[in-house]
Amino acid sequence: DARVTQTPRHKVTEMGQEVTMRCQPILGHNTVFWYRQTMMQGLELLAYFRNRAPLDDSGMPKDRFSAEMPDATLATLKIQPSEPRDSAVYFCASGQGAGNEKLFFGSGTQLSVL
């Protein structure tokens, strides 16, 4: 059963520390997304890749966040330095880019920055 895998599931860290979240998209999918879920904003887009190329990262605070796809099987989201306001659930999703963007989501990384 193909699924998007995210690690870690939970992360507690102190303010100022670096946080790295990893995502393995479904094999064969060519689009990868990072979303953040907060109570105030719902699901907000952070970054969007197609064929490993970044297409949209306008929703990401550039001074502290970075997203990459070193290869087709791995996407990373880094926060450096982390701040308490970054506490949220971060979701990775992948899709086939088939035209209606039906996405498959991972289980998310629950991040708490103290």
Partner 1 sequence: DQQVKQNSPSLSVQEGRISILNCDYTNSMFDYFLWYKKYPAEGPTFLISISSIKDKNEDGRFTVFLNKSAKHLSLHIVPSQPGDSAVYFCAAWRTGYALNFGKGTSLLVTP
- Binding region for partner 1 (CB under 8 A): 4, 33, 35, 41-45, 48, 55-56, 91, 93, 99-108
Least distance to partner 1, CB of residue 89, Å: 9
Please say which residue, 46 or 79, places its beta carbon nearer to partner 1.
46
Please say which residue, 62 or 100, places its beta carbon nearer to partner 1.
100
Least distance to partner 1, CB of residue 6, Å: 8
CA distances from 97 to 15, 50, 87, 102, 104 (A): 37, 8, 30, 8, 12
Q: Which two tokens stand for residue 17?
A: 């520390």
Please say which residue, 37 or 81, places its beta carbon nearer to partner 1.
37
Rg (CA), the chain: 13
**Gap between the Cα atoms of 44 and 103, Å rounded:** 14
Neighbours of 34 (CB within 10 A): 24
Least distance to partner 1, CB of residue 48, Å: 4
Least distance to partner 1, CB of residue 66, Å: 18
